[in-house]
Amino acid sequence: MKILQVNQYYYPRGGADKYFLDLEVALKEVGHEVAVFAMKHPKNQDSIYSNYFVSRVSFNNQSLVDKLKSPTRVLYSLEAKRKFTKLLNDFKPDIIHIHNIYHHLSPSILDVAYEKKIPVVMHLHDYKLICPNHMLFTKGKYCEDCLKTKYYNCTKNKCVKNSLPGSLLASLEMYFHHSILKIYENKVNVFIAPSAFMKDIVVKFGQDEEKVEVIYNPHNLPKEGSINSDDSSGSKETDNYFLYFGRLSEEKGLINLIEAASLSGQKIVIAGTGPEEDSLKKIGDSLKAPVEFVGLKNSSELIDIIKKSQAVVIPSIWAENMPLSLMEALSLGKIIIASNMGGLPEVIKDEENGLIFETGNSRKLADRINYLNSLPLEMRESLEKAASDTAELFSVEKNLESVIGIYNRLLKE
């Protein structure tokens, strides 16, 4: 099968990009021919298809040129359409699998696929299909204000980086793509949702339920990091700390985690960087909370920190879809304490394979941390075993089988 994978970045910038890159490799390993289409970027991996990539545009710290290019690039990129057409003519794919194409590529490429009658699968890595700022989160809380195409609320609330121009452009983008062109609705054959929550919410916002299929993300740890690897040294040795790893941003609920550390007296290690790092450190200092910020860690360092933790905490106050941190921690047999939000409670069942707490409630989180800390060793090991067993449901092999199953079905229709 000849498969074209499409994503705005061709380097591991975030979880969606990592999945896209891993899927390319996995498909090649089982014998498929794979081409890629993306945006030019200095961090991109090497690709024989890079000549087809669209020019780079940045929406952060924009130059005058980028500011002038942004509206047309976001709404309908003629450059992307032209270069995508050339790639389709040269590669002649059987199927197209798109990931994050918003802004940097635009859905103009869907018109080309539709004209050439090539089936399109779209992976919903975030909520951009239904939410102008892609998060269902604004002003510090979960948000469904744009339900029933009320996209003007994005401008009203300045949901995109608290910027009126940016929010206005995002609102216009949604109206143009969904209310006028209906381009995603009419020119994507199947949407892949990485959680049942994602499927339910996009259907609630108006997508066709029959076109949305749930395929959970796999964990993508290197084999040497797996709990089942031969090198398991240190996997049972734990230190007296609970761990958060990931981006340090408002929606991750880290203020609640720091408050829970203060209330429980239990040490919390926070690994990662992000825009809220300095303010979180100040909050930790003001509360005299037992919190240690260890910065961004490479893969092997992070695996070691995860293995040695008492548990991994995911305190998000936004609707986490199916984060890779969840899958990675489970694959290492770690107990997860997660907020009751988004796709998290689909995987973590309270006191069965982890612990769940009320979203945004620091006291409840502190209680769950103390509860886990007080459990007898036998009960902790039972939770860890259940966590490891759960990870088996999210293997790369099962994910790949499900994705290829969709490809094959579409090609038979």
Q: Taking 90 as the threshold, does the pLDDT of residue 184 lie above it?
A: yes
Instruction: Tell me the per-residue pLDDT of 13-65, one tens digit each, with 9 for 90 and over.
Output: 988 999 999 999 999 999 999 999 999 999 999 999 999 999 998 776 655 55
Q: 232 and 172 share a domain? A: no
From CA 222, how far away is CA 327, in angstroms rounded?
13
From CA 249, how far away is CA 232, in angstroms rounded?
33
Q: 404 and 389 share a domain? A: no
Tokens of 386: 């259940």
Q: 111 and 179 share a domain? A: yes
CA nearest to 314, candidates 229, 400, 407, 247: 247
Instruction: Tell me the per-residue pLDDT of 111-120, one tens digit each, with 9 for 90 and over.
Output: 999 999 999 9
What CATH number does residue 119 fall under? Answer: 3.40.50.2000
Mean pLDDT of the 170-186 span: 96
**Domain membership of residue 407 as a residue range:** 2-218+396-412
Reported as a pLDDT band with limits 50, 70 and 90, residue 220 is: low
Q: 367 and 400 share a domain? A: no
Reported as a pLDDT band with limits 50, 70 and 90, residue 69 is: low
In the chain, how many domains are there? 2
From CA 209, how far away is CA 379, in angstroms rounded?
40
Q: 156 and 58 share a domain? A: yes
- Amino acid at the residue 282: K
From CA 101, how far away is CA 187, in angstroms rounded?
14
Q: 153 and 244 share a domain? A: no
Tell me, rounded to whole angstroms, the distance of Cα 101 from its chain centroid. Answer: 14
- Alpha-helical regions (H) of 188-276: 196-204, 254-264
Within 13 Å and on the Cβ side, how many CA atoms surround 405?
10
CB-based contacts of 18, cutoff 8 Å, min separation 6: 12, 220, 324
Q: 231 and 315 share a domain? A: yes
Q: Taking 70 as the threshold, does the pLDDT of residue 199 lie above it?
A: yes
**pLDDT, position 225:** 46
Instruction: Tell me the per-residue pLDDT of 231-288, one tens digit each, with 9 for 90 and over.
Output: 443 345 678 999 999 999 999 999 999 999 999 999 999 999 999 999 999 999 999 9
Instruction: Tell me the per-residue pLDDT of 5-25, one tens digit each, with 9 for 90 and over.
Output: 999 999 999 889 999 999 999
Q: 92 and 53 share a domain? A: yes
Q: Taking 70 as the threshold, does the pLDDT of residue 305 lie above it?
A: yes
Q: 90 and 183 share a domain? A: yes
Q: Do residues 318 and 140 lie in contact, with contact meaning Cβ atoms separated by under 8 Å?
A: no
Q: Do residues 369 and 266 lie in contact, with contact meaning Cβ atoms separated by under 8 Å?
A: yes
Instruction: Tell me the per-residue pLDDT of 135-158, one tens digit each, with 9 for 90 and over.
Output: 999 999 999 999 999 999 999 999
**pLDDT, position 72:** 80
CA dihedral 169, 174, 177, 183 (to 10 degrees): 150
Instruction: Tell me the per-residue pLDDT of 76-130, one tens digit each, with 9 for 90 and over.
Output: 999 999 999 999 999 999 999 999 999 899 999 999 999 999 999 999 999 999 9
Q: Do residues 219 and 109 lie in contact, with contact meaning Cβ atoms separated by under 8 Å?
A: no
Report which DSSP code applies to 151: T
Q: 340 and 371 share a domain? A: yes
pTM listed for this prediction: 0.91
Provide DSSP, 330-371: HHTT--EEEES-TTHHHH--BTTTBEEE-TT-HHHHHHHHHH
Instruction: Tell me the per-residue pLDDT of 312-370, one tens digit each, with 9 for 90 and over.
Output: 999 999 999 999 899 999 999 999 999 999 999 999 999 999 999 999 999 999 999 99
Q: 104 and 72 share a domain? A: yes
Tokens of 412: 């038979």
CA dihedral 318, 203, 163, 141 (to 10 degrees): -30
**pLDDT, position 234:** 38
- Amino acid at the residue 405: G
**pLDDT, position 398:** 93
CB-based contacts of 334, cutoff 8 Å, min separation 6: 306, 307, 309, 311, 312, 384, 387
From CA 72, how far away is CA 8, in angstroms rounded?
16
Q: 25 and 155 share a domain? A: yes
Q: Do residues 256 and 365 lie in contact, with contact meaning Cβ atoms separated by under 8 Å?
A: yes
Give ∠ CA 257-261-262 in degrees, rounded to 5.
120
Q: Do residues 154 and 160 lie in contact, with contact meaning Cβ atoms separated by under 8 Å?
A: yes
